[in-house]
Amino acid sequence: MTEALFEDTRHPTGAPFVADESTTLRTFLDFYRATLLRQVADLDHEQLNRPFPPSTMTLAGILKHMAYVEGIWFGVRLAGTGEIPPFDTAPWDEDPDWDFTSASQDDPEALRTLLREAIARSNELTDTPGSLDQIAAGRSRDGHPISLRWILVHMIEEYARHCGHADLMREAIDGKVDL
């Protein structure tokens, strides 16, 4: 078999086989970001908010959650900024899952835009550091310092997990797979 049989031209954001560590991590993260956005493309409000019991998770909730996670890890933790709207005024004490539960009230395109804008902010903040060894302004929940490298790997893991959820949900909604 030739190598050409294994090329995947459907996913141009996939990481190159040979690259420096920063390029590898950032392109894998971009690949999963793009994958999630493809999985929710063209779905309407009802489809984005359809749960698949026994879970209450929805694609709308995943979109809003990932926008929140982008802001927390790259904005709050890495750069030391405050939370951005709408997360800065969310009633987290009343509803710790507010990012997931409130998404049912949001317009589908507004949710996709919220995530795209969060990704753009994260990319700006990630472009600034000179090294993956840079220690973030914020700390882990238990007070440990965090490197940019760790944040990138964690975000890849976070997206990969939720892209798996989204794969199953999208297939259940309209039968589409391999988006």
Q: Where are the domains of the chain?
A: 19-174
Percentage above 90 pLDDT, the chain? 82
User: Is pLDDT at 5 greater than 50 in this prediction?
Assistant: no
Percentage above 70 pLDDT, the chain? 91
What is the average pLDDT across 132-143?
Answer: 94
* pLDDT of 129: 67
What is the phi/psi pair of residue 136, to 5°?
A: -65, 155
Instruction: Name the burial class of residue 18, with classes exposed (0-12), middle (13-18) and buried (19+) by CB atoms within 10 angstroms of its CB.
Output: exposed
Q: Look up the pTM and report it.
A: 0.90
* pLDDT of 8: 45
Question: Considering the chain, what is the average pLDDT of its residues?
Answer: 90
Kindly report which listed range (2-11, 70-79, 123-132) carries the lowest average pLDDT score: 2-11
Q: Read off the pLDDT band of 14 (50, 70, 90).
A: low
Q: What is the largest CA-CA distance in the chain?
A: 58
Q: Find out if CATH 1.20.120.450 is the number for domain 19-174.
A: yes
Question: Would you say 86 and 38 are in contact if contact means Cβ atoms under 8 Å apart?
Answer: no
User: Is pLDDT at 178 greater than 50 in this prediction?
Assistant: yes
